[in-house]
Amino acid sequence: MGFKSRAQRNAEEKLGGRPRRSENTLSAWVDKHCIDPKGLLTARAVFAKELGISISSLHQLCRGEFSPSMTLAARIELHTHGGVPVAVWADALSAAT
């Protein structure tokens, strides 16, 4: 067995932080792609900065506490290379209009 960072263990065991209400496409993508080999949250912080939001807002999106604006949803799709398409937020976005 190789060494696993705290972030890798947390992603596998879903530990740390406030529990999510439910798993969503963004949280699954973040868990898979934003693992920092040093076990820090820097990869997630960089991803949040690329989106133009705070890391706490990223975590709130992952926990399903709010839905992104259409602009943010488009940025998420762009930065995830289509891994989290705008369509996954369609119900929330249509309710907001």
Contact 69, 94 (CB under 8 A): no
pTM: 0.69
Q: What is the DSSP letter of 38?
A: T
Tokens coding 38? 């040093």
pLDDT tens, per residue, the chain with 97 residues: 466 665 555 555 544 555 555 678 888 888 888 877 666 668 888 899 999 999 999 989 988 888 899 999 999 999 999 999 999 888 766 666 5
Question: Strand, coil or helix: what is 62?
Answer: helix
Question: Strand, coil or helix: what is 13?
Answer: helix
Give the Cα separation of 61 and 55 in Å (integer). 10
Please enumerate in sequence order all residues whose Cβ is within 8 A of that of 17, keeping only pairs 6 or more positions apart, or say none.
10, 59
